[in-house]
């Protein structure tokens, strides 16, 4: 067993970690102590003589050597900001986030001799770093435990109880759809296996389970990614909480509901008005949006002045946000003119009906509706709507060659399949959910792209 305690300085990682180790008859290591041992001087001295970069380099070396360690590890407060560290710490282990309120952390660290990382006054620095680091802590955590105002032995008891995992086998309530054999696979999971999934309706076409389960195996994580296919997002979230789910990828039609259900959201999800990623830690739900990055990355380097987004839902909002970040002029076209106008108004764009696309003469078209998905033979655009040389990006990725892309290719357009969006948003989403950075070439390798 490998248990890793993460969190800000003063959260009690060393004290609680030693108690957990003693009760589980496991060895205990503190990464800060190992850094000092390797350097032969104290951490304040490392900062004073060589700077923070030297400290982080030593920390990375120490943590890399703990990938196969079995025992309890207490980490430095900034360790999990480095995805390489997270990959080493999570390999074969369970990460526990210890949290306390800023006021308590300030009190506990008041007498510390650690150097300032920001140049801010101590109290301001604590609040600023807690705020900026929290997304990294949540991403890297399997278990969240509050240590503020509690006796360390009680916190250790809670951690040990959580390490035991679920009391019984996993099963989904009536109303959830699963592919053949998945019910049996879920029932056979170990009690401590982390659970993630795709939330949507329909969702059984998703390639996310294939990708995530392969990545979990690659990074040595005891985790399973499954399907939460249900028309009611409230039912999905209630079930996820009851099962201790750690992360949800969110697809149509639940992206707006996912954002509304979250306790906090990153700035991208808030601006877009939709979330495709939820990280659950205890009772807390954090929302983010990586769809926009999946749209932006394949279009980087495409010179254009005018772009059109087809659709007015959550994916369309992410596409508008991405295109504006590339400084394109954007027009929203949809079958429902009122919805197109409402979305365009949020971002200060033009809007119109799909039949009017020729009037706008776009150089880039992003299709952001489900039309053409999973055997649907339709396309929102006819051949005469497409001008040769236009870049057509269809966000539908199943099938890879959609009716729209076939029509566009025949008209001499440059085509970008939805698999490109899937690859890049998945890289970002895996980082949000696990704290581990995966390269796009690795995702392509897993997907056979």
Residues 6+ apart with CB under 8 A from 355: none
CATH classification at residue 263: 3.40.50.10860
Regarding whether 230 and 194 lie in a shared domain, the answer is: yes
d(CA 63, CA 103): 30
Regarding whether 218 and 114 lie in a shared domain, the answer is: no
Q: Is residue 58, in this structure, part of any structural domain at all?
A: yes
- Among the candidates 233, 264, 289, a domain finishes at 289
Regarding whether 306 and 270 lie in a shared domain, the answer is: no
Regarding whether 9 and 146 lie in a shared domain, the answer is: yes
Is residue 290 within 8 Å of 353, Cβ to Cβ? no
- The whole domain housing 309 covers 299-422
Regarding whether 119 and 149 lie in a shared domain, the answer is: yes
One digit per residue, the tens of pLDDT, for the chain of length 449 reads 999 999 999 999 999 999 999 999 999 999 999 999 999 999 999 999 999 999 999 999 999 999 999 999 999 999 999 999 999 999 999 999 999 999 999 999 888 888 888 989 989 999 999 999 999 999 999 999 999 999 999 999 999 999 999 988 999 999 999 999 999 999 999 999 999 999 999 999 899 999 999 999 999 999 999 999 999 999 999 999 999 999 999 998 999 999 999 999 999 999 999 999 999 998 899 999 999 999 999 999 999 999 999 999 989 999 999 999 999 999 999 999 999 999 999 999 999 999 999 999 999 999 999 999 888 899 999 999 999 999 999 999 889 999 999 999 999 999 999 999 999 999 999 999 999 999 999 999 999 87
Q: What is the dihedral of CA 196, 139, 105, 82, to 10 degrees?
A: 150
255 noted as active-site residue: yes
CATH classification at residue 399: 3.40.50.720
Regarding whether 240 and 146 lie in a shared domain, the answer is: no
Cα separation of the two ends of the chain: 36
Q: Is residue 351, in this structure, part of any structural domain at all?
A: yes
d(CA 353, CA 332): 8
d(CA 136, CA 80): 7
Residues 6+ apart with CB under 8 A from 123: 106
Regarding whether 282 and 341 lie in a shared domain, the answer is: no
Could you tell me how far CA 240 lies from the centroid of its own chain? 16
| Residue 384 token pair | 């005469």
Is residue 368 within 8 Å of 196, Cβ to Cβ? no
- Among the candidates 266, 289, 312, a domain finishes at 289
Quote the number of domains for the chain: 3
d(CA 103, CA 111): 14
Nearest CA among 64, 5, 61, 56 for reference residue 29: 5
From the list 2, 13, 255, 400, the catalytic residue is 255
Is residue 178 within 8 Å of 228, Cβ to Cβ? no
Q: Is residue 264, in this structure, part of any structural domain at all?
A: yes
Nearest CA among 170, 178, 186 for reference residue 239: 170
Left, alpha or beta for 75 (phi > 0: left; psi -120 to 50: alpha)? beta
């Amino acid at each position: 067993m490998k248990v890793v305690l993460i969190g800000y300085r003063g959260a009690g990682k060393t004290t609680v970690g030693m108690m957990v180790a003693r009760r589980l008859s496991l060895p205990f290591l503190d990464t800060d102590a190992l850094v000092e041992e390797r350097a032969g001087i104290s951490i304040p001295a490392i900062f004073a003589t060589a700077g923070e970069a030297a400290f982080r380099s030593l920390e990375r070396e120490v943590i890399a050597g703990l990938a196969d360690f079995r025992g309890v590890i207490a980490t430095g407060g900034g360790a999990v900001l480095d995805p390489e560290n997270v990959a080493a710490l999570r390999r074969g282990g369970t990460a526990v986030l210890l949290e306390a309120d800023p006021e308590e952390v300030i009190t506990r660290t008041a007498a510390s001799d650690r150097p300032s990382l920001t140049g801010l006054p101590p109290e301001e620095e604590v609040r600023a770093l807690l705020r900026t680091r929290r997304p990294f802590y949540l991403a890297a955590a399997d278990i969240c435990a509050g240590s503020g105002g509690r006796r360390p032995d009680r916190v250790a008891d809670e951690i040990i109880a959580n390490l035991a995992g679920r009391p019984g086998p996993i099963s989904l309530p009536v109303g959830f759809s699963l592919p053949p054999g998945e019910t049996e696979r879920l029932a056979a999971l170990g009690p401590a296996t982390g659970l993630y999934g795709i939330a949507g309706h329909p969702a059984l076409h998703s390639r996310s389970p294939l990708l995530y389960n392969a990545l979990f195996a690659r990074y040595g994580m005891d985790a399973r990614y499954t399907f939460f296919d249900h028309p009611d997002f409230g039912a999905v979230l209630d079930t996820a909480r009851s099962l201790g789910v750690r992360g949800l990828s969110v697809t149509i039609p639940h992206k707006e509901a996912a954002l509304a259900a979250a306790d906090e959201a990153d700035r991208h999800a808030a601006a877009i008005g939709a979330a495709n990623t939820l990280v659950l830690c205890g009772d807390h739900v954090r929302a983010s949006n990586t769809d926009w990055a999946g749209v932006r990355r394949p279009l980087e380097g495409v010179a254009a002045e005018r772009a059109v987004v087809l659709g007015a839902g959550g994916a369309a909002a992410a596409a508008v946000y991405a295109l504006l970040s590339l400084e394109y002029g954007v027009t929203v076209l949809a079958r429902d003119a009122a919805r197109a106008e409402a979305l365009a108004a949020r971002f200060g764009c033009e809007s119109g009906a799909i039949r009017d696309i020729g009037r706008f003469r776009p150089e880039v078209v992003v299709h952001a509706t489900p039309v053409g998905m999973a055997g649907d033979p339709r396309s929102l655009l006819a051949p005469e709507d497409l001008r040769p040389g236009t870049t057509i990006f269809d966000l539908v990725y199943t099938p890879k060659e959609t009716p729209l892309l076939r029509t566009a290719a025949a008209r001499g357009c440059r085509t970008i399949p939805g698999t490109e969006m899937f690859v890049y948003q998945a890289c970002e989403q895996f980082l949000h959910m696990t704290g581990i950075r995966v390269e796009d070439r690795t995702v392509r390798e897993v997907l056979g792209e």
